[in-house]
Amino acid sequence: MDETTTRLTEYGLPLDPEAMVRPPDVTELELEPGHPGLGDDGYIQRRKALFALCRKHRLENLGPPLIEYTAEETRIWREVSPKLDELHVQYACRIYLDAKRELAITRDEIPQLRHLSDRVQRETNMHLVPAEGALPYRTFYEYIAQRGFPVTQFIRHGSHPEFTPEPDMIHDCLGHVPPLMNPDYAELVALIGKAAATTRAGEQLLALKRFSWFSIEFGLIEEAGATKVFGAGILSSTGEIPYSINSPDVKREPFVTDVVIATDYDPSRMQDHLFVAPSFPFLRRELETLVRRFGIPVL
Ligand SMILES: [Fe+2]
């Protein structure tokens, strides 16, 4: 390990760059301490079954399985998605709203990833990969490098419909999938994937991870003189949407790549430091410049 890599920190803690380039493979469902589903055997059995099914489909390249959702899962979707819908109309960027309509994602039925994947593929040649849970960063981006976006197919626990400690399909389908219909966004995501899957340098991977955190996950965008939301982490949270735009506690500054890649964050709490990009083409150009500067041979 050299001088630079030993100084890497993430979430305020020292980071082992080796763990970033060689991620662990999680072969069984693990719910973190404090997860609202712990102690609910029915929920855990369902999660285990979906974990096994989606993992099999992912590893065998079978595409998203068609899932028969339960009445409880549909109830949770019908409780959360109208609330998000109202906030999206007010706060989400135009590209997102148009794409959500194009994809025919409704408040009533949980969408099937297989159908969303077919539609996105026709539009931008990205497809959706079934994921059993949050994949390690590098594994995640190895799929994206192949233009496949990993998406979960389970739903959060019904005791706290507005909270999930892990990305679930409300986060993925209502946050990540719609912008994939935009060509500039799709190219941006695919390039992050290629660069992250190619570099062997932990500090470059960390920079790419931060770039995507402050854009794909928690990005804001200028639109006709107003600040709008396009980050999936914001768009899938009823608390985070108004907080990101209205709260005086949030620092919002222009998206400057060198500042972004030097900025740490805490994923476990509401985000109080955000960056505003002028457009998707801008982000795509910024990323291309960064990747060239890093000397990652993917362009
Ligand atoms: Fe996400």
The whole-number pLDDT of residue 96 equals 96
118-125 long-range contacts, CB within 8 A, separation 24+: 119/181, 120/149, 120/177, 120/180, 120/181, 123/181, 124/180, 124/181, 124/182, 124/183, 124/186, 125/186
Task: Establish whether 273 is a catalytic residue.
Answer: no
Yes or no: say if 189 and 107 are a contact pair by the CB < 8 Å rule. Answer: no
The whole-number pLDDT of residue 4 equals 45
- How many Å lie between the centroid of ligand 1 and the Cα of residue 219? 11
- Nearest partner of 289 among 251, 261, 250, judged by Cα: 261
The whole-number pLDDT of residue 2 equals 43
- One of 176, 187, 203, 212 is an active-site residue; which one? 176
The whole-number pLDDT of residue 5 equals 44
The whole-angstrom separation of Cα 110 and Cα 76 is: 10
Q: Which residues pair with 229 in a beta bridge?
A: 92, 220
Structure tokens at 164: 């999930």
The whole-angstrom separation of Cα 149 and Cα 160 is: 27
3-state secondary structure of 174: helix
267-to-11, 70, 74, 213, 226 alpha-carbon distances in Å: 7, 30, 27, 9, 26
- How many Å lie between the centroid of ligand 1 and the Cα of residue 92? 16
- How many Å lie between the centroid of ligand 1 and the Cα of residue 91? 18
- One of 171, 212, 240, 244 is an active-site residue; which one? 171
Report CA dihedral (184, 103, 230, 236) to the nearest 10 degrees: -150
Task: Establish whether 236 is a catalytic residue.
Answer: yes
Structure tokens at 118: 């077919």
Task: Establish whether 57 is a catalytic residue.
Answer: no
- How many Å lie between the centroid of ligand 1 and the Cα of residue 213? 8
Residues 6 or more apart in contact with residue 2 via CB below 8 angstroms: none
The whole-number pLDDT of residue 65 equals 97
Of the chain, the end-to-end C-alpha distance in Å amounts to 28
- How many Å lie between the centroid of ligand 1 and the Cα of residue 247? 22
- How many Å lie between the centroid of ligand 1 and the Cα of residue 2? 31
Yes or no: say if 145 and 67 are a contact pair by the CB < 8 Å rule. Answer: no
pTM above 0.95, yes or no: no
The whole-angstrom separation of Cα 132 and Cα 84 is: 24
The whole-number pLDDT of residue 24 equals 75
- One of 215, 236, 237, 244 is an active-site residue; which one? 236
Given the DSSP bridges, would you call strands 251-254 and 273-277 parallel, antiparallel or unpaired? parallel
The whole-number pLDDT of residue 1 equals 40
- Nearest partner of 144 among 120, 126, 131, judged by Cα: 126
Task: Establish whether 247 is a catalytic residue.
Answer: no
The whole-angstrom separation of Cα 221 and Cα 229 is: 6
- Nearest partner of 277 among 246, 254, 252, judged by Cα: 254
- How many Å lie between the centroid of ligand 1 and the Cα of residue 242? 18
- Which residue, chain included where needed, has tokens 């404090």? 34
The whole-number pLDDT of residue 101 equals 95
- How many Å lie between the centroid of ligand 1 and the Cα of residue 25? 19
- One of 217, 237, 240, 286 is an active-site residue; which one? 217
What are φ and ψ of residue 218, in 5° steps? -130, 35
What is the residue-wise DSSP string for 69-130?
A: --HHHHHHHHHHHHHHHHHHHHHB-HHHHHHHHHTT--SSSPPPHHHHHHHHHHHHS-EEEE
The whole-number pLDDT of residue 299 equals 85
Task: Give mean pLDDT in consecutive 10-residue pieces for the chain, a chain of 299 residues.
Answer: 57 76 81 91 96 97 96 96 96 96 94 97 98 89 95 93 88 96 95 94 93 97 97 94 97 98 92 97 96 95
What is the residue-wise DSSP string for 175-196?
A: IITGGGGSHHHHHHHHHHHHHH
